[in-house]
Structure 1
Amino acid sequence: MAKRRKLGNPLALTVMVLLSERPMHPYEIAQTLRRRGKEHSVKINFGSLYTVVQNLEKHGYVEVTGVQRQGNRPERTLYGITEAGRTEMLDWLSDLIAVPVDEFPVFDTALSLLPVLPPDEVAELLQDREQAQNVRAAALRGVLTQLGDLLPRVFVVESEYQLHMIEAQLEWIRGFRKELADSSISGIEEWKAFHETGEMPRDWQDLDERNIVLDPGHTV
């Protein structure tokens, strides 16, 4: 089980990783995140970046290391990681890599509520998603091809993983759409009847009465 941490925002971890390279001021942190394309793998609110840095300082994970002066520009406070911050950073990152957690992706949520939509409409919506994901996959392949000659692979593994997950989702969507098209998925007759009559199929009502727990962690 992952530890309960003082800070839970992954952006805080990202900031600590950057500051482990060298002291930076928040604006430089934001520019570095943009330049490295981290907004595609970390949910970044650049407007709250200063607050994230302040919270890290509050908990003793970063500290002021100096002030940067450039011409007539306002002074900028430089922050560096502390030993406590370095320990937290390494421990936190290790947890994220090693310990699976329930992340509740919104697509999973949508799939869990699928029967409220008619099967034909679901098939069309999944086709729309398939087309959009194909575009995303093509864009990622292009980026990886470009960066493959410029960067060591260790710096693009998150993009590789994102592409792999998109391709896996596409494979599932294609298979599921085929099952919808040929009506081979179990329960589709009840599903269609539900939308034709507006009444919950008796077989579906029985599922609740039988107290079946749809939980991978539950032993029947």
Structure 2
Amino acid sequence: MTIKNTLALAVLGLLQEKSMHPYEMTATLRERQKDGNFKINSGSLYDVVQSLVRHGWIEPVETQRAGRRPERTVYAPTELGQGEFVRWIDELIRKPVAEYPKFLAAVSYLGALGPDGAADALTERAGHLRDQIAAHRQLLAETVGSGQLPRLFMIEGEFALHALEAELVWITRTAAEIRDGSLAWPTSSWPA
């Protein structure tokens, strides 16, 4: 039985740390700013939790009530779920799969913008990337650098930071090549 929703991966990952109820899972993912890695909303998270229960990957272990709040069911991974989680992580890390990022699709038709439009669009994207890089650095400094979380719990943030930095290098270089004319621009196929 295979579950492909990466939010399920996040739920199983959180349950490696400790048993949790869905509200705590959502809060923890947002606190760690994992909403850039997973599409998080309460409805989808509850659906994923129910799916994991149906598949036997997690199970309710207790019900908690705090004050006048409604009861909350706390979940933990099952032996099956633990094995599937490890298998899934191993597969995702070992085997690259074709992913179809929107930016890559757009870059394949960069010429449609014309040299000035393409250079301007890339330059604007570079500015946004610089902002994202600064935010990633700050998050890593606040969580890992301060000792709030172990580095391993935020290691994907390091990967994301390096990916953003690599993209920025490529974009900056490509925009410069367009502006200085070293990136040939066919005049017959694309706008001037």
Percent identity, please. Answer: 44
Deviation at 1:74, TM superposition (A): 1.8
Deviation at 1:72, TM superposition (A): 2.6
Residues 166-200 of structure 1 show CA distances to partners (whole Å, capped at 9, x for unaligned) of 111111111111211122223x1336x6325xxxx
Deviation at 1:122, TM superposition (A): 0.7
Counterpart Cα distance in 2 of 1:29 and 1:101 = 27
Where in structure 2 are there 5+ consecutive unaligned residues?
none
Matched residue type, 1:168: A
The structure with higher relative contact order (CA 8 Å, sep 6+) is 2
Q: What is the 5 A alignment of 1:142-161?
A: 142-147=138-143, 148-150=145-147, 151-161=149-159
More divergent stretch after superposition (61-70 vs 48-57):
61-70
Q: Does 1:168 align with 2:171?
A: no
Q: Does 1:189 align with 2:171?
A: no
Deviation at 1:43, TM superposition (A): 2.5
Q: Does 1:101 align with 2:78?
A: no
Contact 2:26–2:40 at 8 Å: present in 1 too?
Answer: no
Counterpart Cα distance in 1 of 2:30 and 2:186 = 50
Counterpart Cα distance in 2 of 1:12 and 1:158 = 17
Where in structure 1 are there 5+ consecutive unaligned residues?
197-220
Distance 1:26 1:146, change over 3 A: closer
Counterpart Cα distance in 1 of 2:99 and 2:42 = 23
Matched residue type, 1:10: T
1:85 matched residue in structure 2: 81
Distance 1:122 1:79, change over 3 A: same
Deviation at 1:19, TM superposition (A): 1.8
Superposition TM-score, scaled by structure 1 size: 0.79
Deviation at 1:153, TM superposition (A): 2.6
> Structure 1 segments of 4 or more deviating over 6 A?
none
Matched residue type, 1:55: S
1:118 matched residue in structure 2: 114
Rg: which structure is higher? 1
1:35 matched residue in structure 2: 31
